[in-house]
Structure 1
Amino acid sequence: MTARFHLTTTPHQSSVPAIAPSHPLSRLLLCLSLAFGGALSVQAASFDCTKATSDVEHAICNNPKLSDLDEQLNDNYQLAIANLPGDQADALRNAQRNWLKQRDACQGKESCLNDLFSQRATQLQAVANQASAKLDGIIASIPGNPAQAALQLGEYRGPLASAWLIYLHQFEPSANITRGEVEKRHQRVVASMNDDTYPQSLLHDIENDPKISHDRAVLTLLRMTIEREGYEDQDGRPYVHCFIFKRQGMAAYETFGALYGSTRDSQAPICPPQGDLFEQPAWKQLNKLFEPVITAASENAGTIRFASYADWSMFRLHATVSPEDYLKPDQNPRSASDPEQLIRSWSDDNFWPKAQREQLLAAIEPARLATLGWLQTEKHFSASDAAKASNALVKQWLRDRMDFIGEAPGDGYSCH
């Protein structure tokens, strides 16, 4: 979500008290926090219309088309400013001040404002797109030359470049980012969240929780910045951070999945799976057969269901990028449970008819065999490793869904 600021002002940087739940990764407490204190205010235009004073501001607030154009223009301006190097951002800021003089010369006349706003919104969108593409190119170059990427990112002042410089300091020593630079950049990133204090306070708790590693705290800051930057939206700006999952492993998989326990998790910056494993006909069939009961369970799951959906997306990424992880012993106590047996022994035929369960059980082995073959062909696993990993992958996929449909009707972890 892009921050909303009037075009003639800059965000006020005030301190925000920590109001996040006592344990930052507790889904239930996160849900309650959102339900009672995390809602965002909604307003017309790019500023608070209740405080409109000038003829131009009143014209914008009284005309839905102008209001939409003003919001679009502001979004494009903020994105461009955030994604331009410092000198270019300064030049754009000066150009915008000159444009505001033209805007004010319209004296609130809607025909004049409509043409002026439409033209400027288009211009700023082009600038924002070009700036985003250039910055994304620098980010994508990090694995190949982190030191050079750090030099280029240092020319930027925005939160995204700042979060990546903090990432480089933590994970790429050759980038030579100083501690002083990290502290300055951290302040910028946190200040950029002032329009939405929920993630800001949640980040504060995560960074100060001794049970959470510093690696994960840094990745959380990066994740929260990426999800505010307009990736994967209607303009189709593709993710460029996908390399971190292979490089940072479990810390990245655990950080970029479900975090909020609410609809916010639908915006989790999860990259698509690598390869076509889950496009295999056997997997499509298994997913199709589970769909009716998942849909039914979702009706009682409240907003927490978005956390499960995010976890499932992360599983697909993890399984296709790092399937070797599924050769390791699973330390989770629930891994001993047999999801196929749970399906067979399901007692509520009204909720999940036996005929549907039998169809699903018959579809499990084809999915396991498809996974075994894919791991050998695409990941060059040995036959024994492919068999072990495919069993673990299919079991995890089934267990995740059984946990979901088992919890949802009881409503124990749901937000409404």
Structure 2
Amino acid sequence: MPRSSWLFGPALSLCLLPFAAVAQTPPDCAKPSGRAERTICASADLKVVAEDMATLLRDTLGNTSIDDNRDAIERAQKAFLTERDAACADKSTIPACRALYEKRTADLAAQNSAAQKKLATVVAGIPKDAKAAAAALQRYSGAPAKAWLVYLHQSGAVAVPDKDATVRRLVDEILNQGLPKDPYLLEEMANLGDVPSAPLSTSLLFLRHVMSTTEMDAPCFLFTKHGQPAFEAFGAFWGNARDETPGLCSPPSSLFDLPEWKAVSTHMDPAIEPALVERGSIRHGYERQFEVDDLQATLVPSTLLEAPMSAEAKKMAEQRGRAVAAFRSWSDFDVWPEKEYRAAVNALPAAITATSKLYREKFKLNPQTADQAARAAADRFIAGRLGLIMPDD
């Protein structure tokens, strides 16, 4: 995909200026410049370390507002390069050179983590004042801030002239300049198609993919505001360890922390825990979906009754139906002992009753809807766990 030819707006131009001041790319080993670069290019390990540090520097600057002390990052990088040129003089200095790079990388990682926490604070302000948050996000040049701007414009929270062109420019910059060189991630993002002309669910999935490269969590307001599309976008997508990111918000309490649900867990978990180990990396997809189901049942229970929208969500609903059916007629007592199974079955009605009561009192659902949502929450709870010990299709 070619780099964008659109012109930057004044704010974005301003926040890109500091990037020209320091070296952000690893040595060009086709044309190494100076003894230090030749030393680095002669060592496969050092080349990887140098590439990782260059990426981290880009991310640190991108996640730091121009209102913060970006000059200090630039000065530290210039000082590092001067020290590197002296310390990486020849092959005999490779251990010292590596140690120098590792120290600089650790320093940048700490700065990047701190910068992302500040950026997360800006994002947390979106529900209160979306326009002020957008203005603050314009002071960043990294992919995460731009992805949040895409969300704000696509959701209609912040209007801009010629929205489609603005969003396309932001998407293009993110894809071509701001993401790790991860072919799987880039392929999935490209498969989303033209984000400005797509439904909001696509923008939420785009945001999810960008956030998966950060330490930032998906805030709760995404789910309370957008409901089903947000839960689907941040659910199990990869079916492996990639599903661990981005992290999800932690509400003050979880539905499944109710003592009635803990009682059900007591009789299910002994059979589930060994399966987590046996499933290997695929377990992350199950764990992610259960985490999202928990969040959905806790934050917006009425959405449990909505039909799935995406192909992935429809497939998940089908798997959930098979798991619930298996639960009702369970007979593999070698995997899940009959005594524990019967105890879980007997404990489930109390959990459903407690959930329905909570939904009536806290969410003001009418009794019929509360009962339906409580049973749907129970299906999520059962299927999320039982899927781990059921045979694969």
Q: Normalising TM by the smaller chain, what interval? A: 0.7 to 0.9
> Contact 1:274 / 1:320 at 8 angstroms: preserved in 2?
no
Q: Tell me which of 109, 113, 125 is aligned to 1:141.
A: 125
Kindly report which structure 2 residues correspond to 1:25-36, keeping only aligned pairs within 5 A, or say none: none
SS at match of 1:160: helix
Higher helix share: 2
Identity of aligned residues (%): 26
Select the structure with the greater relative contact order (CA < 8 A; seq sep ≥ 6).
1
TM-score, normalized by length of structure 2?
Answer: 0.74
Match of 1:195? 181
Partners of 1:273 and 1:246 in 2: how far apart? 11
Structure 2 unaligned residues grouped into runs of 5+: 1-21
Match of 1:96? 77
Partners of 1:229 and 1:353 in 2: how far apart? 42
Q: CA deviation at 1:382?
A: 4.6
| 1:145-181 deviation line (CA, Å, top 9, x unaligned) | 1112212212221101111111111013534264333
- Are residues 85 and 276 of structure 1, via their aligned partners in 2, closer, same or farther at CA, if it must alter by over 3 Å? closer
Q: CA deviation at 1:73?
A: 5.7
Partners of 1:152 and 1:123 in 2: how far apart? 25
Alignment of 1:369 with 2:353, yes or no, is yes
Q: CA deviation at 1:386?
A: 3.1
Match of 1:105? 86
| 1:270-298 deviation line (CA, Å, top 9, x unaligned) | 33355232222221231232223334555
- Are residues 137 and 267 of structure 1, via their aligned partners in 2, closer, same or farther at CA, if it must alter by over 3 Å? closer
Would you say how many aligned residue pairs link Structure 1 and Structure 2? 357
Partners of 2:33 and 2:223 in 1: how far apart? 46
Q: CA deviation at 1:267?
A: 2.5
Alignment of 1:259 with 2:237, yes or no, is yes
Match of 1:159? 143
SS at match of 2:219: coil
Alignment of 1:225 with 2:210, yes or no, is yes
Partners of 2:86 and 2:63 in 1: how far apart? 29
SS at match of 2:64: coil
Structure 1 unaligned residues grouped into runs of 5+: 1-6, 12-45, 232-238
TM-score, normalized by length of structure 1?
Answer: 0.71
SS at match of 2:192: helix
Q: Tell me which of 167, 173, 178 is aligned to 1:182.
A: 167
Alignment of 1:248 with 2:248, yes or no, is no
> Contact 1:79 / 1:128 at 8 angstroms: preserved in 2?
yes
Alignment of 1:206 with 2:192, yes or no, is yes
Q: CA deviation at 1:94?
A: 5.8
Match of 2:7? none
Q: CA RMSD in A?
A: 4.1
> Contact 1:340 / 1:361 at 8 angstroms: preserved in 2?
no
Q: CA deviation at 1:131?
A: 2.6
Partners of 1:281 and 1:197 in 2: how far apart? 45
Q: CA deviation at 1:355?
A: 1.7
Partners of 1:126 and 1:173 in 2: how far apart? 32
Partners of 1:337 and 1:221 in 2: how far apart? 28
